[in-house]
Amino acid sequence: MEKPMRPEHPIALITGASSGIGEATARLLAANGCHLALGARRVNLVKELGGELAAQHGIQTFASYVDVRDSASVKSFVDDAAKALGGLHVVVANAGLAKRLDRVEAISEETWQLMLHTNVEGVIRTFQAALPHIRKSGWGHLFTIGSVAGHNVYENGGVYCASKYALRALVQTLRIELCGEPIRLTSVDPGLVETNFSRVRLEDDAKAKAVYQGMTPLVAGDIAECIRWALALPDHVNIDEIIIAPRDQASVYKVHRKM
């Protein structure tokens, strides 16, 4: 059986690439020679980022609008990216969010549907659209951005936690289904990362800042480095799951804060 060839410059597709972990991953992979397909709803930001990274690193980039809650949008983005860049090897299904802190009995349908449509269904759509292109390219690596909330629940976060538990089940199943193919699969599951995550969730800058007060959280670049490292390992090595947290966070309920 012919050994699959790792490309010298893998083509990596990133959803939610306009800020935070997605942007940091794009910057790090570009610095390591990957060509990039960048997608987000804030299309002006990914277009600007793509142009910057192409000029800085001499890579090819494709940047376009994508809403992972919409199947047609995802398929169009992935197909157009693969056509523009000549294939697809790496997918970082990064688009996701938390919205509000609500008890399960009180959360609005609009809020819980937003999280499930984005965090779970969005990954299914992205991987379904990408896998035919990856198989055609002959070598690949899929990444999801999970959460410690997919390992331990906490009150007022029931639906968000449920979405990340569902994502773990999805990834573990897909890992079995892809076994024997030259496609690796890694879930990176962070604890507290200071991005715009809490601002989106709490809709209040002061409350969002308080989430990280008195402790040293992770930053987006820390998660990007996990992705870069797992991708760089020899092809026979698959990092199934990375749980990464700040030293100051021992669990969802135990955070050391300096007074």
Residues of the chain with pLDDT under 50: none
Reported pTM: 0.95
Indicate if 253 belongs to the active site. no
The tens digit of pLDDT for each residue in 177-207 reads 999 999 999 999 999 999 988 989 998 899 9
**Candidate list 65, 160, 165, 212, residue with the active-site label:** 160
Residue 145 backbone phi and psi in degrees, to 5: -110, 100
Predicted pLDDT at 237: 98
CATH 1.10.3680.10 holds for 11-244 = no
DSSP secondary structure of 97-116: -----B-TTT--HHHHHHHH
Predicted pLDDT at 2: 59
Predicted pLDDT at 31: 98
Residue 132 backbone phi and psi in degrees, to 5: -60, -35
Domain ranges of the chain: 11-244
